[in-house]
Structure 1
Amino acid sequence: MKIAQAIAAYVASKQSLGMRFVTEARTLKSFCRTIGDVDMEQVDPARVRCFLDGTGPVTLFWHRKLDALRGFYRFALAREYVTTSPLPTSVPQPSRSFVPYIYSLDEVRRLIDATHNLDHRNLSGLTCRTLLLMLYGTGLRISEALGLDITDVDLQDRLLYIRETKFYKTRLVPTGPDLTKVLASYAAQRNQHSQPIIDASFLLTRRGVRPSRAAAESVFQQLREAAGVRRTDNSRYQPRLHDFRHTFAVTRLIRWYRDGADVQLLLPQLATYLGHVHIGGTQRYLSMTPELLRHASVRFERYAMGG
């Protein structure tokens, strides 16, 4: 059996059980493109390792690719598509844990200012500015922000309806008065150039269609360079759009520490706001910035001293 046929059968099997299986399917299709659509028995350990290693250092993505292949080969072995697995038996450790980038308020302002002089063929400066402020002010996933329809933005009640995204969850995300004004201004200007349609995207490209994530990431690289926002810690990745979500979580935690709030009690609320099923999904966003560490240390000292 050819690899593409086996992968299609595996993905169909998983999705028939109610699983979305989008990321895993994408990984397996990438595997097929790298290896070539050859017979299953022709795939040897060296070719698998080449796909896993890629061109960069070993990261958590290496392990996610391996997990996808493990599930696929368990399926293939059970159905006798292959007689042996070509997957590696020894697994290297990631070179180091990925550290997200936490934007300072000054960097956010510079990025917003850069949208005023943006010259991009696909996205206007207004759309980019609205997207950045939405991500910074709500902590939405990029896909959630881009997936908003007109009817999902309730300006009167200051709510965003996030419908059946990751983990099949639908939730309400409140917007503060400042962000609501930004969204209202954008809605008024977009409606001058586009006929309102019930299921139309809230954010639009210059051609009047929903922006893709690739387009958003591309224009953000341009904005980042214009604003001079760069990592200086020799990290493999420069600041990303998704790091606005990390920034939102860390900023919220710092504010709670400053206000003397019960952080442990409030963390489940933050997890619900961000759309996480378990609190552990939220904890990985709470990267230790110097300010956050300082507030946490002060809180611990007070606890240790009985204060």
Structure 2
Amino acid sequence: MSHTLSPAARDALQAWLDYERALKSASDNTIKAYATDVTGFLAFLAQHLGGPVGLKPLASVALRDMRAWMAHERARGVAPRSLARSLSAVKTFYRWLSQREGFDATAVLSTRAPKFQKKLPRPLSEDAAKAMIDTVGLQTERDWVGARDIAVVTLLYGCGLRISEALGLKGRDAPLPEALVIKGKGGKERMVPVLPAARAAVEEYRRQCPHELTSDAPLFRGVRGGPLNPRLVSGVMAKARAQLGLPASATPHAMRHSFATHLLSAGGDLRAIQELLGHARLDTTQAYTAVDTAHLLDAYEKAHPKARSK
């Protein structure tokens, strides 16, 4: 990639990534995705424009160049969703670069993202979520490991945590308080109420765990005492869902989806659910309203006398 950029453009790209990491608190995964998406775009520009890309060519990118890049990506088989993500990264870079270098980035910023069908969250039913919690603890001969897995999955469903957030808890976080301060994506903190069932599950795990749960060490441990790998949680849920006859979508993240959907079904406020989930944008949370509506329509089709008589 270095031979396709001038030193000034290369320095600008690195400065932007440093800015996103330090001042915008972007996660390592976000920085990696940004770097991949923007360097791919810059590599195309170098080929498209016939030479190394410097700051001046970057400032001169026109709408036709953007369209050529998007056509190139589609021809490579890049899906609309992935292309929309890449375009978003390019726009974020250009918004920063244009402010720093003082040029008009309208051509890039006004480029329309390809349309794609947004995937709806796929939650479990309340009965299935409870059965999953009960069943994950039966997938091992070690009682403490079963208690650990129950505690983790209970936190995902009972508190709406991401798997990374649950496994990011430290020994000092337990016994769990009535409300936890969780640091989510981008370093954003939120307050999450902890249900008595979740506190009890974590305490049972702590009682049985053979490893010393020191203050600064991870709360949830693997068999040898190291941090619990999230793949192990996915694996134990895969075994449990096979036993329960649940679909492949019954993953750790589906427990978080279930938390949000069941709260909404019970009359929960959308803004409050947004805060509990740590979503930066309300439209991310609004996807659950579509899921809830779909469930209502399905129930209507199954239960309404006129629907049954068709």
TM score, norm. by length of structure 1: 0.68
What is the identity percentage for the equivalent residue pairs of Structure 1 and Structure 2?
A: 25
Matched residue, 1:92:
114
- 1:20 is paired with a residue of what secondary structure? coil
Distance in 2 separating the partners of 1:76 and 1:161: 35
Say whether 1:271 aligns with 2:258.
Answer: no
Say whether 1:21 aligns with 2:23.
Answer: no
Q: Given that residues 143 and 213 in structure 1 are in contact (C-alpha distance below 8 angstroms), is that contact kept between their aligned partners in structure 2?
A: yes
Name which of structure 1's ranges 41-50 and 195-204 shifts more when overlaid on structure 2. 41-50
* Deviation of 1:25 (Å): 1.7
- Call closer, same or farther: CA 1:37–1:159 in 2, change over 3 Å: same
- The aligned runs of 1:158-197 (5 Å cut-off) are 158-162=178-182, 164-190=183-209, 193-197=210-214
- Call closer, same or farther: CA 1:63–1:38 in 2, change over 3 Å: closer
- 1:129 is paired with a residue of what secondary structure? helix
**Deviation sequence 1:174-196 (CA, Å, 0-9, x none):** 22222221111011122xx2123
- The aligned runs of 1:94-113 (5 Å cut-off) are 94=116, 96-113=117-134
Say whether 1:246 aligns with 2:246.
Answer: no
The AA in structure 1 aligned to 2:273 is L
Distance in 1 separating the partners of 2:43 and 2:146: 46
**Deviation sequence 1:89-143 (CA, Å, 0-9, x none):** 674310x2211112013322443344244369xx944333221111111112222
Q: Given that residues 157 and 258 in structure 2 are in contact (C-alpha distance below 8 angstroms), is that contact kept between their aligned partners in structure 1?
A: yes
**Deviation sequence 1:231-290 (CA, Å, 0-9, x none):** 6xxxxxx3432222221122122223xxxxxx6xx4433333333456544323332255
The AA in structure 2 aligned to 1:93 is K
Distance in 1 separating the partners of 2:75 and 2:178: 46
Structure showing greater radius of gyration is 2
* Deviation of 1:39 (Å): 9.6
Distance in 2 separating the partners of 1:275 and 1:195: 31
The AA in structure 2 aligned to 1:195 is E
* Deviation of 1:27 (Å): 1.2
Name which of structure 1's ranges 243-252 and 285-294 shifts more when overlaid on structure 2. 285-294
Q: Given that residues 154 and 160 in structure 1 are in contact (C-alpha distance below 8 angstroms), is that contact kept between their aligned partners in structure 2?
A: no
Q: Given that residues 171 and 275 in structure 1 are in contact (C-alpha distance below 8 angstroms), is that contact kept between their aligned partners in structure 2?
A: yes
Distance in 1 separating the partners of 2:94 and 2:191: 39
Q: Given that residues 70 and 83 in structure 2 are in contact (C-alpha distance below 8 angstroms), is that contact kept between their aligned partners in structure 1?
A: no
Matched residue, 1:144:
165
Distance in 1 separating the partners of 2:97 and 2:72: 20
* Deviation of 1:222 (Å): 4.2
- Call closer, same or farther: CA 1:117–1:62 in 2, change over 3 Å: farther
* Deviation of 1:36 (Å): 11
* Deviation of 1:214 (Å): 4.5
Distance in 2 separating the partners of 1:86 and 1:171: 34
* Deviation of 1:218 (Å): 4.7
Consecutive unaligned residues of structure 1, counting only runs of 5 or more, are: 80-84, 232-237, 257-262, 297-307
Structure with greater helix percent: 2
Q: Given that residues 274 and 285 in structure 2 are in contact (C-alpha distance below 8 angstroms), is that contact kept between their aligned partners in structure 1?
A: yes
The AA in structure 1 aligned to 2:262 is T
Matched residue, 1:283:
286
Distance in 2 separating the partners of 1:110 and 1:54: 43
Say whether 1:230 aligns with 2:239.
Answer: no
Matched residue, 2:92:
71
The AA in structure 1 aligned to 2:191 is L
Q: Given that residues 250 and 292 in structure 1 are in contact (C-alpha distance below 8 angstroms), is that contact kept between their aligned partners in structure 2?
A: no
- 2:252 is paired with a residue of what secondary structure? coil
Q: Given that residues 254 and 291 in structure 1 are in contact (C-alpha distance below 8 angstroms), is that contact kept between their aligned partners in structure 2?
A: no
The one of 203, 207, 224 aligned to 2:224: 207
- Call closer, same or farther: CA 1:21–1:278 in 2, change over 3 Å: closer
Name which of structure 1's ranges 241-250 and 42-51 shifts more when overlaid on structure 2. 42-51
TM score, norm. by length of structure 2: 0.67
- 2:87 is paired with a residue of what secondary structure? helix
- Call closer, same or farther: CA 1:72–1:223 in 2, change over 3 Å: farther
Q: Given that residues 102 and 246 in structure 1 are in contact (C-alpha distance below 8 angstroms), is that contact kept between their aligned partners in structure 2?
A: yes
Count of paired positions: 268
* Deviation of 1:205 (Å): 1.7
